[in-house]
């Protein structure tokens, strides 16, 4: 599905390069459920953002679904991203001014779905996540777990092949965390969605098929479960 | 998709009510200004265009060049030029002469003075003037026919049908009956020719006049379509030189007038905004196009200031929206889609402001009309052009206000936005320079306002050199000199009436010879012996006219100081002025101190006073006591009406008349005051918004500072000093510009204030104070807030 070759990301500070990622190579197959672990500052989020094409590496080769991402123009990258990737964040990142329904609907708007199509797709999604009753509420009126459900629903609405999740349970209590992780596992198994998550929790990492440990911008270990 | 944008936009506006209000108020006021000025300019441009023949009608105007090369441009001609040119030049299809007069009209027992126009009988085939009743056939053919406007018809005949009825009008000193043949609809407000009473030119005394060099009326031609103007003017020159040959010779030999006359054709559509050949003698006065430009400039400035508020507040607020932008990008929003969203928001706001602006225009239109001397309304100016220009103004405003913020906000990097790493790099020079620009304009307007007030005060409180208090001035003409004496004697019987005098009315210019045949130009004033004492004008040398000295009314004159200086006389008494063309010589018996009877927009002319020997009187002046004014006025009116049976009584106080001379200045004063108020208001609400955001942004910093022991004053200073620096810079930039502008404006006045540094200091102080108070509200609020609250919330 995707492959990173000798990817580095650094910032120039004075005469020195400060590396966030240092010569990372990584392959992810379709249908995998990868967990990225590592201490704070080891480059987990940066790696995730580069995979998701939100961030650009300073060096290296990046292939995604058969495309050489490092050679693509901004617009083509955006198109690729739109087609394949859904993001889930630790802080949910819902738009406060929009209702649950509208938050989930937004990606469809940007992909130019017609109004009636959107209605049907969003209704399905609300049904599937059993949040029909909350569709007219604003994010501030929901619990953290509910907000993250909405966040995942939004990420899934365009049927992406790849879900990137940056500490999706970081702000949740353990019961809510388990629900979210089980949802991910189910998506991976039943819908064959590739998932890459960043996590601090060994237990959460255990839901996946592979654990990658990052340390100081390098892959320390990659363990298949 | 659009609906989704609308929803977010409205929710955003609603959530940030304070800023929405600031933006909408500022923009709607500014848009209202623009719409008003557009209406004004639309009206100006549309002048006379309603005439079906508008493009083929020209006015004959004159360039008069003296042997020394001085050019005098005149909008009027003699009576003979129209018919002569038409007869000899076939391209001139028709001519219409229009002459104005002010005549006494009698109907039953009512007597009024009315502005009338005399016009050739083909007036209605050249100009467009729809009739309310009557027919175009023979409309002005008879010498005794008259056409009335609907208002005038109503004034004299009420609801009756006026056609066939008659009015008595005093033409050439005799009341003659005129029969109403038609009633016109009210002349459009944008017409140079406004019909009230239209009489056949045949009835005027000057109809048969053959003098080329006597200029007193407007001559219009309808010219053949496509005729070449240059060739026409050349032909006119030939005709003039042939036909007027003997008169030109006579003028040169008898009066020493060797001026060259050159005839020019001025398009009808150019008259209203022409300063070279303005509309005069009965046409609605021309308006200097500079007024349109200045008003347009002011409106544009105000709009810019309001747009700057929008840009600045959106930028300052964008911190709050960073997250939203990041999310939108992460869930697949493209940059263009975001640009469209943000522009959409600015358009929604602009559109709301636009609607409010239209309501505002309707509300203030009456006030604006009285300020601009117009009768503007949407009803007659509503046209495709107006709608298109309004729409353009709105589209431009939305784009101008929204474009930069849209571009900037849509360019945020989503990763930085979501991980709260988005910083506002740089020092925000754009916002800062925009604030400086706003306050530069505001300071400029305030300096202008103060200067104009000061100059106005100077003009209206100027020592005129005579006392205009408690002087009743009665406007009249052709007052019989014997009756005047009776009137005077009758009035003086009343103890409240101190003195009575008269002059010839109007301004009369003349030339005469002095010293050894030198020519001198001057104004002549015909007065009686009580004129100088009544106005308390001091005689500086010699003596006043005297009733007892018989020779005074025959060959004595007085001159003013300017005259004496121009003549170069050290001791003017006994000097002789030779009125060579009537072969009469006059001797100077006294010199009067210079006084300003006219307005201060002109230097005092050299003036010569004569005691009126033979002709009738014009204006009458009555000095009354401060007490019992009403009784005195009633007495004067009663006496006047008893003695002058068919004369309308029109009176005013001389000091009020003097104040009225500065009507134009008074209007400018109001216009500039309004502009200054609006600019400072809109600038300040913008600054208020910025200060709000800045205080919010620095809440934590202030909390930490307070915990560390900073005093309230220190924090207030910290928060306000940044803004005040910008405002200070603005005042520094505005000062030289304002100085230059005001200097140029004052140059127009022969009597003017000198620009004082206190005007600038006061204006700068005022702007800084207003800005400080605006910023202070938030600074104080932030400074006295409990730091625990702001720190805990982080």
pLDDT in tens, chain A (225 residues): 899 999 999 988 888 888 889 999 999 999 999 999 999 888 888 899 899 888 889 999 999 988 898 898 888 888 888 889 999 988 888 888 889 999 999 888 888 888 899 999 999 999 988 899 999 999 999 998 899 999 999 998 988 999 999 988 888 888 888 988 998 999 899 989 999 999 988 899 989 999 999 998 899 998 888
The class that CATH gives domain A2-224 is alpha beta
- Residue A166's nearest CA partner among A62, A37, A57 is A37
Q: Which residues on adjacent β-strands are paired with residue B519?
A: B513
**Is it the case that residue B794 has pLDDT exceeding 60?**
no
- Between strands B607-611 and B518-527, the pairing is parallel
Cα separation, B237 vs B65, whole angstroms:
14
SS3 of B687, please? helix
- Residue A52's nearest CA partner among A42, A40, A65, A39 is A65
**What are the counts of helices (DSSP H) followed by strands (DSSP E) for chain B?**
25, 22
Q: What is the pLDDT of residues B675-721, one digit of tens each?
A: 888 888 888 888 888 887 777 777 777 878 877 877 888 888 888 88
Nearby residues of B369 by Cβ (< 8 Å), 6 or more positions away: B375, B376
B interface residues, A as partner, C-beta within 8 Å: 1, 3-4, 7-8, 11-12, 15, 323-324, 326-328, 330-334, 337, 414-415, 418-419
Q: B1 and A54 in contact by Cβ < 8 A?
A: no
Contacts of B337 in chain A (CB under 8 A): 110
A107 touches chain B (CB under 8 A): yes
- Residue A109 has its nearest CB partner, among B4, B323, B415, at B4
SS3 of B733, please? helix
- Residue B327 has its nearest CB partner, among A49, A95, A112, at A95
Contacts of A158 in chain B (CB under 8 A): 332
* Prediction pTM value: 0.76
**Unique residue bearing structure tokens 């265009």:** B49
Chain-wide mean pLDDT for chain B? Answer: 86
Task: Work out whether the CA dihedral A168, A170, A173, A175 comes out positive or negative.
Answer: positive
Cα separation, B735 vs B741, whole angstroms:
10
**Is it the case that residue B774 has pLDDT exceeding 60?**
yes
Q: Are B16 and B375 in contact, with CB atoms under 8 Å apart? A: no
Smallest Cα distance from A225 to chain B, Å: 31
- Between strands A59-64 and A2-13, the pairing is antiparallel
To the nearest 5 percent, what fractions of chain B are helix, strand and coil? 50, 20, 30
Q: Are B624 and B470 in contact, with CB atoms under 8 Å apart? A: yes
- Residue B11 has its nearest CB partner, among A93, A97, A109, at A97
Q: Which residues on adjacent β-strands are paired with residue B136?
A: none
- Scanning every residue of chain B, which has its alpha carbon at the shortest distance from the alpha carbon of A164? B330
- Scanning every residue of chain B, which has its alpha carbon at the shortest distance from the alpha carbon of A83? B332
Cα separation, B784 vs B699, whole angstroms:
11
B55 CA to centre of own chain: 27
SS3 of B504, please? coil
* Domain residue ranges of chain A, discontinuous segments joined by +: 2-224
Q: A93 and B418 in contact by Cβ < 8 A?
A: yes
Contacts of B4 in chain A (CB under 8 A): 102, 105-106, 109
- Scanning every residue of chain B, which has its alpha carbon at the shortest distance from the alpha carbon of A104? B331
Tell me what pLDDT residue B791 has.
Answer: 65
Cα separation, B438 vs B308, whole angstroms:
8
SS3 of B251, please? helix
SS3 of B5, please? helix
Smallest Cα distance from B289 to chain A, Å: 51
Helix (H) or strand (E) holding B88: helix B81-88
SS3 of B358, please? helix
Contacts of A45 in chain B (CB under 8 A): 419
To the nearest 5 percent, what fractions of chain A are helix, strand and coil? 40, 30, 30
Q: Are B648 and B537 in contact, with CB atoms under 8 Å apart? A: no
Smallest Cα distance from B325 to chain A, Å: 9
Helix locations, B698-756, DSSP H? 699-707, 712-746
Smallest Cα distance from B444 to chain A, Å: 42
Banded pLDDT at B406 (limits 50, 70, 90): confident
């Amino acid at each position: 599905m995707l492959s990173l070759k000798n990817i580095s990301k650094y910032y120039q500070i004075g005469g020195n390069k400060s590396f966030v990622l240092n010569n990372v190579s990584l392959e992810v197959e379709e249908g995998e459920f990868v967990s990225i672990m590592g201490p704070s500052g080891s480059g987990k989020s940066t790696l995730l953002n580069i995979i998701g094409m939100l961030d650009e590496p300073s060096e290296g080769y990046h292939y995604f679904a058969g495309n050489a991402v490092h050679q693509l123009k901004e617009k083509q990258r955006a198109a690729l991203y739109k087609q394949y990737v859904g993001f889930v964040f630790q802080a949910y990142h819902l738009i406060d001014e929009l209702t649950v329904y509208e938050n989930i609907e937004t990606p469809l708007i940007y992909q130019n779905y017609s109004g009636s199509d959107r209605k049907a797709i969003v209704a399905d999604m609300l049904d599937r996540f059993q949040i029909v009753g909350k569709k007219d509420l604003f994010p501030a009126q929901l619990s953290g777990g509910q907000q993250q459900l909405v966040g995942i629903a939004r990420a899934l609405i365009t049927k992406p092949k790849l879900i990137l999740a940056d500490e999706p349970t970081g702000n949740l209590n353990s019961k809510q965390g388990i629900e979210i992780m089980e949802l991910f596992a189910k998506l991976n198994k039943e819908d064959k969605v590739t998932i890459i998550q960043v996590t601090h929790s060994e237990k959460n990492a255990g839901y996946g098929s592979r654990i990658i440990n990052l340390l100081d911008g390098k892959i320390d270990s990659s363990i298949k479960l | 998709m659009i609906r989704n944008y609308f929803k977010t936009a409205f929710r955003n506006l609603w959530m940030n009510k304070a800023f929405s209000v600031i933006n909408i108020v500022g923009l709607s006021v500014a848009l209202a200004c623009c719409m008003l000025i557009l209406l004004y300019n639309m009206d100006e441009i549309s002048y006379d265009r309603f005439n079906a023949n508008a493009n083929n009608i020209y006015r004959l105007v004159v360039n008069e060049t003296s042997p020394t090369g001085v050019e005098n441009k005149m909008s009027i001609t003699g009576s003979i030029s129209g018919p002569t040119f038409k007869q000899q030049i076939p391209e001139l299809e028709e001519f219409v002469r229009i002459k104005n007069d002010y005549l006494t009209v009698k109907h039953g027992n009512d007597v009024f003075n009315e502005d009338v126009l005399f016009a050739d009988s083909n007036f209605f085939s050249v100009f467009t003037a729809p009739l309310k009743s009557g027919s175009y056939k023979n409309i002005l053919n008879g010498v005794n026919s008259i056409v009335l406007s609907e208002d005038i018809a109503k004034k004299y005949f009420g609801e009756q049908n006026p056609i066939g009825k008659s009015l008595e009008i005093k033409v050439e000193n005799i009341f003659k009956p005129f029969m109403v043949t038609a009633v016109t609809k009210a002349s459009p407000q944008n017409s140079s020719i406004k019909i009230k009473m239209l009489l056949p030119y045949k009835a005027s005394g000057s109809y048969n006049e053959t003098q080329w060099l006597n200029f007193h009326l407007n001559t219009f031609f309808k010219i053949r379509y496509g005729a070449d103007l240059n060739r026409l003017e050349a032909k006119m020159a030939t005709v003039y030189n042939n036909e007027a040959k003997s008169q030109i010779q006579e003028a040169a030999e008898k009066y020493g007038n060797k001026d060259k006359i050159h005839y020019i054709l001025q398009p009808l559509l150019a008259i209203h905004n022409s300063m070279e050949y303005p509309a005069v003698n009965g046409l609605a006065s021309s308006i200097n196009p500079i007024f349109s430009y200045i008003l347009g400039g002011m409106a544009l400035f105000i709009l810019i200031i309001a747009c700057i508020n929008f840009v600045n507040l959106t930028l300052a607020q964008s911190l709050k929206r960073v997250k939203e932008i990041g999310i939108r990008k992460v869930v697949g929003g493209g940059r263009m889609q975001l640009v469209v969203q943000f522009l959409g928001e600015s358009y929604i706001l602009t559109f709301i402001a636009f609607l409010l602006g239209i309501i505002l225009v309707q509300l203030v239109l009456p006030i604006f009309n009285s300020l601009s001397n117009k009768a503007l309304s949407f009803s007659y100016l509503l046209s495709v052009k107006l709608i298109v220009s309004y729409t353009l103004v709105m589209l431009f405003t939305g784009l101008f206000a929204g474009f930069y913020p849209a571009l900037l906000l849509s360019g945020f990097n989503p990763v930085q936005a979501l991980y709260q790493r988005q910083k506002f790099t740089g020092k925000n020079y754009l916002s800062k320079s925009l604030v400086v620009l706003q306050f530069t304009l505001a300071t400029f307007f305030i300096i202008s306002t103060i200067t104009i007030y000061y100059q106005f005060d100077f003009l209206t409180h100027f020592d005129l050199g005579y006392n205009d208090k408690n002087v009743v001035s009665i406007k009249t003409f052709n007052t019989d000199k014997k009756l005047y004496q009776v009137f005077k004697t009758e009035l003086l019987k009343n103890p409240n009436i101190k003195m009575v005098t008269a002059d010839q009315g109007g301004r009369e210019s003349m030339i005469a010879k002095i010293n050894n045949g030198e020519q001198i130009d001057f104004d002549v004033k015909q007065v009686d012996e009580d004129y100088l004492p009544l106005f308390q004008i001091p005689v500086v040398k010699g003596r006043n006219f005297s009733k007892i000295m018989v020779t005074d009314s025959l060959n004595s004159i007085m001159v003013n100081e300017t005259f004496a200086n121009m003549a170069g006389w050290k001791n003017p008494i006994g000097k002789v002025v030779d009125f060579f063309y009537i072969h009469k010589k006059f001797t100077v018996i006294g010199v009067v101190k210079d006084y300003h009877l006219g307005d201060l927009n002109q230097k005092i002319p050299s003036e010569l006073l004569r005691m009126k020997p033979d002709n009738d009187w014009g204006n009458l002046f009555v000095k009354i006591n401060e007490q019992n004014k009403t009784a005195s006025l009633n007495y004067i009116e009663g006496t006047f009406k008893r003695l002058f049976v068919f004369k309308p009584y029109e009176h005013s106080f001389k000091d009020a008349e003097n104040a009225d001379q500065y009507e134009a200045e008074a209007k400018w004063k109001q216009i500039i005051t309004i502009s200054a108020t609006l600019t400072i208001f809109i600038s300040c609400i913008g600054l208020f918004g910025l200060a709000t955001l800045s205080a919010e942004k620095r809440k934590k910093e202030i909390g930490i500072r307070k915990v560390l022991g900073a005093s309230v004053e220190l924090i207030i200073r910290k928060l306000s000093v940044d803004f005040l620096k910008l405002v200070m810079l603005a005042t520094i930039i505005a000062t030289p510009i304002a100085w230059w502008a005001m200097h140029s404006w004052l140059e127009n006045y022969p009597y003017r204030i000198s620009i004082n540094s206190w005007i600038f200091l006061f204006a700068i102080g005022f702007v800084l104070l207003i800005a400080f108070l605006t910023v202070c509200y938030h600074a104080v609020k932030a400074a006295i807030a409990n730091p625990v609250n702001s720190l805990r919330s982080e």
